[in-house]
Amino acid sequence: MKIPPKLRRIRALVSKETRQIVRDPSSIAIGAVLPLILILLFGYGLSLDVKNVPIALVIEMPTPEALDFAAGFELSPYFHPWVTRSMPAAQQALLEHRIDGIVRIAADFSRHIAAGDAQVQLIVHGGDANRARIIEGYVQGVAGVWSARRAAEGGAGAVPLVSVESRLWFNEANDSSYFLVPGLVVLVMTLIGGLLTAMVMAREWERGTLESLLVTPVRTEEILLGKTLPYFALALFGFVLCVLSAKFLFHVPLRGSMWVLFGASMLYVLIALGIGLLISSWVRNQLVASQLTMLVTFMPAFMLSGFLFDLRSMPALVRALTYVLPARYYVALLQSVFLAGDVWSVIVPNTLALTAMAAALFLASRAVMRKSLE
């Protein structure tokens, strides 16, 4: 059987590139070892769950009511209280970051409880505002439980007029790794994909080997394909490792279907590789290419993709910027496919956006390369 020359040329390029990968272990390290290390380190390391908060419980007068109220903190899994009578000592501890907050039960607590107008002072370290708000919520919770219990026992407590019964869909246990781990997969794939190709093309330009490739009958898009395919396989291998660890190590549920997950991810890997190709054929310098890849892939995917920070709360200008970021669509896809299942109203528009981006990147890389050849 006769193979068309176009395919033969691509096959030759692919086999040349594959040989190069096998001989230089650093590409394999980027494609397979790096994702595994990163997902393990971050999967275990990153968490927004707040537990065992070290707080000072300042009980100025140990009356039965004050001790009863304080017991709520000692029993709570969210707090790790340190009981003291001295407010200055507690403030010093807060200054030195040994505790995250102070709950102060004043000397006249019992009298005010009897009169029905008691106040408990909470001082939180406002530095980490997110954590401070969570701690405040926990303290409110302890106080609410105490009031309701006193009311039930016929004391001077009260049931709240309105209580909110909350349900967190897709993540009933409120485990932050459920949304962090799929987001991390996005971060890792973005970085891996971009880096794999960015260095390769820039290196060929620097060494002048690309020019020698050009005097052969190979065409621009064939070079692009020949460069992309082997790294595509390598990056996909890294992706499989990430998904396996998400499912079996971090126990993130995979509620959507496998083929949606893989389809979307293949598309995204293509885009990540394409960004690397485009950057490196544009700057043709390994130093600048690697810095630029790092800048336009890792940090934006970290900050602007909706992985951590809510997109709807960003100012319009910054939000507009996120629309050109492929990671934004991939984060939406992965969070839905992992946690919510096959939600077509999410999958279809995001996949379409990714497809358009992949096509645009390929065309742009071809144009940039053609132009730099002339």
Residues 65-104 that bind another protein (CB under 8 A): 94-97, 100
For another protein, the binding residues in 288-317 under the rule CB under 8 A are: 288, 290-292, 294-295, 298-299, 302-304, 306, 308-310, 312-315, 317
In the complex, least distance from residue 108 CB atom to another protein, rounded to whole angstroms: 13
Identified binder of another protein from the candidate list 147, 197, 280, 351, rule CB under 8 A: 147
Footprint (CB under 8 A) of another protein, residues 213-252: none
How many residues would you count in the chain?
A: 374
Give least dist CB 2 to another protein, A: 38
Residue 129: φ, ψ to 5°:
-65, -35
Q: Identify which of residues 226 and 306 has a Cβ nearer to another protein in the complex.
A: 306
Among 63, 148, 140, 49, residue whose Cα is nearest residue 103? 140
Query: To the nearest whole angstrom, how small is the minimum distance from the Cβ of residue 82 to another protein?
Result: 15
Which residue in 11, 24, 107, 240 binds another protein (CB under 8 A)?
Answer: 24
Nearest distance, CB of residue 6 and another protein, angstroms: 30
Q: Which residue, 7 or 299, is less far from another protein as judged by CB?
A: 299
Pick between residue 6 and residue 125 the one whose CB is nearest to another protein: 125
Phi, psi of 314 (to 5 degrees): -85, 150
Quick one: residue 208, left, alpha or beta (phi over 0 = left, psi -120 to 50 = alpha)? left
Kindly state whether residue 287 participates in binding another protein, applying the rule CB under 8 A. Answer: yes
Closest CA to 205 of 289, 297, 269: 289
Residue 341, Cα to own-chain centre: how many angstroms?
Answer: 19
Q: Which stretch binds another protein (CB under 8 A): 10-18, 33-41, 211-219, 243-251?
A: 33-41
What would the x/- binding string for another protein be over residues 113 to 142, using CB under 8 A? x--xxxxxxxxxxxxxxxxxxx-xx-xx--
Q: Does residue 37 touch another protein according to CB under 8 A?
A: yes
Count of residues of this chain found to bind another protein when the rule CB under 8 A is applied: 113
- Residue 323: count of CB within 10 angstroms of its CB: 10
The least distance separating another protein from the CB of residue 166, rounded to whole angstroms, comes to 5
Q: Yes or no: say if 276 and 195 are a contact pair by the CB < 8 Å rule.
A: yes
Between CA 193 and CA 183 the distance in angstroms is 16
> Which position among 47, 86, 209, 212 is part of the footprint of another protein (CB under 8 A)?
47
Binding segment (CB under 8 A) for another protein, from list 39-47, 226-234, 265-273, 364-372? 39-47
> Smallest gap, in angstroms, from Cβ of residue 39 to another protein?
11
Q: How far apart are CA 83 and CA 366, in angstroms?
A: 68
Binding residue for another protein (CB under 8 A) from 286, 328, 351, 354? 286
The whole-angstrom separation of Cα 25 and Cα 54 is: 46
Distance CA 135, CA 125 (A): 10
Shortest Cβ 83–another protein spacing (Å): 18
Residue 275 CB, nearest distance to another protein (Å)?
15
* Element of type H or E holding 266: helix 258-283
Contacts of 303 (CB under 8 A, 6+ apart): 309
Spatial neighbors of 107 by CB under 8 A, at least 6 apart, are 60, 61
Q: Determine which helix (DSSP H) or strand (DSSP E) holds 85, and give its type and residue range.
A: none
Nearer to another protein, 225 or 303 (CB): 303
Other residues' Cβ atoms within 10 Å of the Cβ of residue 292: 20
Binding mask 332-371 for another protein (x = CB under 8 A): x--xx--xx--x-xx-------------------------
Closest contact distance (angstroms) between CB of 271 and another protein is 19
Strand partners, 54: 80
One-letter amino acid for residue 16 of the chain: K
Q: 45-73 b/e with 16+ CB inside 10 Å = b?
A: eeeeebeebebbbbbbeebebbeebbebb
Tell the smallest beta-carbon distance from residue 203 to another protein (Å): 7
- Positions 172 through 201 that interact with another protein (CB under 8 A): 172, 174-176, 178-180, 191, 195, 199
